[in-house]
Amino acid sequence: MRNEAGEFEVWLTDEELSALQDRLNELDKDDEYSFRRAFVPYKSADHDDAIEQFDEKTIRVYQYLRDYGTDETRKTIDESFRKLVTSVVS
């Protein structure tokens, strides 16, 4: 399975693909909810459980892709997270 950008290649059984689709569907629902919450002026994103849940589920999806991905997929995900951590620390 490859995404349209061609960044992630994973080899999955039908069961594993179904599990990935479930994770992506959960993420999609949370993304929609988080988007609607973004326009609530009195709710700070720093203390929003919806944002934290979205972040956790995003990490779970990337971890799943990394677990089942090719060497190139794992390398791409590892580099992305290294850049993210570096930018947060800086």
pLDDT tens, 2-21?
444 557 899 999 999 999 99
Rounded mean pLDDT of 35-52? 56
> DSSP characters for 52-79?
HHHHHHHHHHHHHHHHHB-HHHHHHHHH
Instruction: State mean pLDDT over 41-63.
Output: 69
User: Can you give the pTM of this predicted structure?
Assistant: 0.66
How do residues 57-89 score in pLDDT, each as one tens digit?
Answer: 888 999 999 999 999 999 989 988 887 777 766
Cβ(9)–Cβ(70) below 8 Å: yes
d(CA 77, CA 52): 20
Segments of 28-75 assigned E as strands: none
